[in-house]
Structure formats: C-alpha cells, structure tokens
C-alpha cells in the first residue's frame, strides 16, 4: 500500500496540466476524475454488493461490535497524533480509552469508555501535518481509498504502516481482518453514499468540496476560523 501511494504521488508530479478554468485546489482534475470513475465502478460492482449482503446477513449489533473492535485499535494512534499536536489531555484520554476498552471492553468490542465519559476523537497523521502548518497540496483521488490530498495521502500511508494492525501475524489473519474492516466500513457508509447521490448535481465536485471542507474542520477540531460567505 505504501509503495502504491508513493508511486502515485511521484507519477502525479509529471502530469500537472494547466487547463482553462480549473479549480486551483484540484490541478489534476482530469486524472482524478479517471480514478474516480474507476473507484465508482469498483464500488458499484464489488464493494457495494458485498457491503449490502454483509449488512443483510450480519445483525446491526454484531456490525457495531466489529466497528468498535477496529475503532479501539485506532485509538492508540489517535492518541499519538494528539500528543504530536500538543494536545496532551486529549492524548491521555485516547490512551485511557484504549486501556479500558481493551480490558473491560473485551478487546474493544464494547465501547465502555464512551459510556464512562471518555470521548472518542478523530485524528490521523494528515491532520497532524495540517496542524503543523503543512498545506493540503493538490486534491487527489486515490484508487480504492477515494478522496485525499497530497498531504493526507502521505498521512494515510503512515497511518497504515504505523498501525499495530499491520503487525498482526499470520498474514492471512491480518488480511482477513483488513477485509472485514473494509466491508464493515463500506456497510456503515451505505446511507451516506446514497445521500451523496441524491444531493449532488456533480458527485465528483460535491464529494471533493465536502472532503476539503471536512478535513479543514477536523484539523481545527471542529472550529476552524470562520470563512464568511458573502
């Protein structure tokens, strides 16, 4: 996965065209739209049918346990990122969540920490770089992973390699878990993607703008400096 992202970033450097009226945030739009179409087909013919079957076959209760299990592993590095951003209290909170959920929550399948008032945060390396002042760079659509930017793409590569999940052996078990994670995540997003289809005139543009707004908001933990619409 890491080599794929790096290779992609390198190949992009070569194809920055200057078309007319292109959005300055998205200089690779034609390339991105190509990947977007590929992702769309992959989603339509494989990911969505699998996710729908999974949602029908697996009870909501179990799906939410599966989600909790992976969310718990992520808390470890959410904490690391909070420390890297100087938010020590939040980082301690995340690690306490991990400790409680792993033990009392039976390897994370029960989110007992939330019930005890330890809130879940949303952090990753892309956000940490953003907090450090690294600009997002051009918008990117990554194969399978969809919306990203150069900064967030590098962040995602680190997220994957750093995650303790990547150390799980045997490899078959790790890959099975990755597969389960992806299917479960896609299943949880079925409603959101239908919403996107209903709301957007041009889904590519709508998703891109929503992603960029969302990331900006996340970097500032929900209260970015207000951009006044006039």
Least distance (Å) from another protein to the CB of residue 156?
Answer: 18
Of 30 and 143, nearer to another protein (C-beta) is: 30
Question: Which among 138, 139, 146, 137 is positioned nearest to 36, based on CA atoms?
Answer: 146
Which DSSP letter does residue 44 get?
I
31/140 Cα distance (integer angstroms): 9
Least distance (Å) from another protein to the CB of residue 4?
Answer: 27
Least distance (Å) from another protein to the CB of residue 201?
Answer: 5
Of 161 and 213, nearer to another protein (C-beta) is: 213
180/174 Cα distance (integer angstroms): 10
Q: Point out which residues bind another protein (CB under 8 A).
A: 21, 23, 64, 67-68, 71, 111, 114, 119-122, 191, 194-195, 198-202, 205-206, 209-210, 213-214, 216-218, 222, 224, 227, 229-230
Of 12 and 111, nearer to another protein (C-beta) is: 111
Least distance (Å) from another protein to the CB of residue 197?
Answer: 9
Least distance (Å) from another protein to the CB of residue 24?
Answer: 12
- Encode 45-60: b = buried (16+ Cβ within 10 Å), e = exposed: eebbeebeebbeeeee
Of 167 and 230, nearer to another protein (C-beta) is: 230
Of 9 and 55, nearer to another protein (C-beta) is: 55
Exposed/middle/buried for 180, CB within 10 Å: 0-12, 13-18, 19+?
A: middle
Contact 111, 71 (CB under 8 A): yes
180/56 Cα distance (integer angstroms): 15
């Amino acid at each position: 996965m890491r080599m794929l992202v790096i290779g992609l970033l390198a190949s992009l450097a070569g194809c920055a065209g200057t078309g007319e009226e292109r959005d300055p945030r998205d200089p690779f739009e034609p390339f991105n739209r190509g990947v977007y179409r590929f992702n769309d087909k992959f989603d339509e013919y494989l990911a969505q049918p699998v996710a729908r079957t999974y949602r029908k076959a697996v009870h909501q209760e179990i799906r939410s346990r599966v989600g909790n299990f992976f969310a718990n592993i992520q808390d470890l590095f959410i904490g690391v990122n909070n420390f890297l951003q100087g938010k020590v209290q939040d980082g301690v909170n995340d690690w306490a969540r991990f400790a409680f959920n792993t033990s009392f929550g039976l390897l994370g399948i029960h989110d007992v920490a939330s019930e005890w008032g330890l809130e879940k945060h949303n952090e990753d390396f892309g956000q940490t770089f953003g907090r450090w002042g690294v600009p997002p760079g051009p918008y990117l659509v990554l194969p399978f992973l969809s919306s990203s930017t150069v900064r967030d793409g590098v962040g995602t590569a680190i997220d994957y390699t750093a995650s303790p999940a990547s150390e799980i052996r045997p490899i078959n078990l790790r890959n099975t878990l990755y597969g389960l994670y992806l299917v479960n995540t896609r299943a949880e997003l079925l409603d959101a993607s239908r919403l996107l289809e209903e709301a957007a005139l041009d889904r590519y543009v709508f998703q891109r703008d929503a992603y960029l707004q969302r990331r900006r908001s996340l970097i500032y933990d929900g209260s970015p400096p207000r951009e006044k619409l006039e």
